Amino acid sequence: MRRKNLTPGKDTARQPAKTRESRLLSPHAAALNSPTTHAAALLAGKQTADQREENADLRQATAELRQVTADLRQATADLRQESADRRQEAADQSEDAAQAKVQPGAITEAHLREANERLVVATIRAHTMTEAAENASAEMSYMAQHDFLTGLPNRALLRERLAQSIALGQRHGKRVALMYLDLDHFKHINDSLGHAVGDQLLQSAATRLQACLSRRSDTVSRQGGDEFVVLLAEVEAVQDAAVTAEKLLTVMAAPHLIGAHRLHVTLSIGISLYPDDGQDAETMIKNADTAMYHAKKNGRGTYRMFTSDMNEHAVARRSGEESLHQALEQHGLVLHYQPKVNLQTGAITGAEALVRLRQGDQPLVYPSTFVNVAENCGLIVPLGKWVLSEACRQTAEWLQAGLDIGQIAVNVSAVEFHGAGFLAGVRAVLDDTGLAPCRLELEMTESGLMQDTAPTSEILRGLKTLGVQIAIDDFGTGYSSLSYLRSFPIDTLKIDQSFVKDIDDGSEEKAIVSAIIAMGKSLKLHVIAEGIETPQQLAFLQAHHCAEGQGYYFNRPLPAEKFAALLKTT
Ligand SMILES: Nc1nc2c(ncn2[C@@H]2O[C@@H]3COP(=O)(O)O[C@H]4[C@@H](O)[C@H](n5cnc6c(=O)[nH]c(N)nc65)O[C@@H]4COP(=O)(O)O[C@H]3[C@H]2O)c(=O)[nH]1
């Protein structure tokens, strides 16, 4: 299952006793209002100052109690001894018996009275302390079952309630529905507007979800990050779950007013049903998560009911994630380099670095099968870092060895580009490898750049200030408006290979390709054609003065050593 990383609050502050009590009286409501920090500290097992003080008081009271008990024991022993002495004295000296009886009796009574008073005080204190300890422990156990940020039941409590609902469903022959919810593009909001806004958005989302559910038996829980799970404990028909999902989608879509921000956020929902899609809590959660993944893939802002064929995809996806993890940890990634060629002279002007995954003796795995997976599970960030630093390192090495590779182009996924610290990461790689920034070109797709135009523009300007070149990959396939070409500092347009492929037999494609070349020229942009495979395609591009190209006609992507050998021969 995907996990996302959000930062909880900071350290706790000491709170007045009244606040603590009110939280204990109404833990649920209080948790919604209470500082997340206190809860976080409690959950982390830290003792707050209050608890430490209460525990110290409790220890003090216990010590006093022990002392009083010891005193009482001593007094009783003294009493026994004295009465034995008295009996002895009475037997031995009957004339002194009266005096012997009065003296010890008077001392014992005072002693006992004092001890008794101390015992009462200590008992009252111990009782008070025990109550406080019990309250603290109730609070701790509440915290252990609820989410500190939203006050909703957490993963553990949800699991417990789901298991109960399944048991009841089994007994009464009823359906149970489980909905896995994920806020679309939440990470982006969190990264761009900060964690405080992100936290408030999550609280707002939690409140809306809760308000949507009318039955007491229903549960809304927060799984962590931007993931929520809704449990509908009594569902008559499959359609009921769909109706609720639609209600949740509508309610969430209204703007969230967070400080000065008006935030629009949508949900992706996956639904699994008991007994149709799973007989136990674990399977139901897994299948709802899988269905949610499909909702995301199908455009987000929608819901999907689980179907059994989704499982095959899920297995492939999970094994893809595992392979990627392994590849990243065990040096299983490798770069191939495809030459870029000057179409008039045939000279190599640069190369595009393309990543592959190595799995033992098996054939290399191509990026079309794992880049998507990496984007969805967050591994694209470490993967992209590795690609960038390896490509820059290798290029610097070639240049030092006297091989003029020209420019190296590296693909950047939108997730990486919009992630925190991308610009700083590029700067650090250039510093570490010593590669001159003008040697590096970053390729982004149109749709990736258009995801959020204001931050995009800022990052692009930062890259330009560094001296890095920017290329639009797959140009012509992504975005309908061309106005961004004026506002973004772009250097190169790469004509998508689908247009180049059909040059041979499609007049429309010819028109598109020649139009892109002409537009690039008038905007003073560099134009490269991708996927050149035939002499006819090359001839058309040359006739229309396309400056550069790459494709199987010249070379397939090559391992580093083969690419170096090619450079040496040209
Ligand atoms: N049919 C045909 N194909 C040709 C020809 N010439 C080159 N190609 C292939 O076309 C793709 C060009 O890369 P792309 O458009 O950036 O498309 C890339 C790029 O979007 C992505 N990718 C590759 N490496 C990386 C990477 O390191 N990071 C990221 N984020 N994406 C990458 O995966 C896509 C596919 O990469 P590859 O499988 O290596 O596929 C490469 C290349 O091998 C040709 O003449 N005919």
| Closest atom of ligand 1 relative to the 557 alpha carbon | 43
Question: Tens digit of pLDDT for each residue in 174-190?
Answer: 899 999 999 998 988 88
Where are the strands (E) in 168-315, listed by range?
175-183, 219-224, 227-235, 256-258, 261-263, 267-274, 303-305
Average per-residue pLDDT for the chain = 83
pLDDT at 19 over 70: no
Would you state the structure tokens that stand for residue 466, as one six-digit string?
């560094």
Model confidence pLDDT, tens digit, residues 332-380: 999 999 999 999 999 999 999 999 998 888 889 899 888 988 988 889 9
Tokens found for residue 422: 């991308």
- Model ipTM value: 0.97
Tell which residue, 251, 267, 252, 288, has the closest CA to residue 176: 288
- Look at 380 and 36; give whichever has higher pLDDT: 380
CA of 354 to the centre of ligand 1 (A): 6
CA distances from 496 to 446, 474, 512 (A): 11, 4, 10
Question: Which of the residue ranges 28-32, 172-176, 217-221, 429-433 would you say has the lowest mean pLDDT?
Answer: 28-32
Nearest to 408 by CA among 469, 496, 346: 469
pLDDT at 530 over 80: yes
Q: Which residue has the higher pLDDT, 553 or 235?
A: 553
Ligand 1 site residues (CB inside 6 A) read 338, 354-355, 366-368, 371, 384, 387, 411, 413, 443, 473-474, 497, 530-533, 550-552, 557
Least reliable range by pLDDT among 148-152, 170-174, 436-440, 552-556: 170-174
Residue 135 pLDDT class (50, 70, 90 cuts): confident
* Sequence-separated (6 or more) residues with CB below 8 Å from residue 200: 258, 259
Higher pLDDT, 134 or 391: 391
Of 74-78, 393-397, 427-431, the range with the lowest mean pLDDT is 74-78
User: Which atom of ligand 1 has the smallest separation from the CA of 550?
Assistant: 6
pTM of the model: 0.58
What is the percent of the chain where pLDDT is above 70? 81
- Atom number, ligand 1, closest to the C-alpha of residue 354: 24
pLDDT on residue 177 = 96
Q: Who contacts 292 (Cβ-Cβ below 8 Å, separation ≥6)?
A: 180, 181, 182, 268, 269, 270, 304
CA distance 250 to 33: 26
Pocket probe for ligand 1: among 338, 354, 392, the residue whose CB has the most ligand atoms within 8 Å is: 354
How many C-beta atoms lie closer than 10 Å to residue 394's C-beta? 21
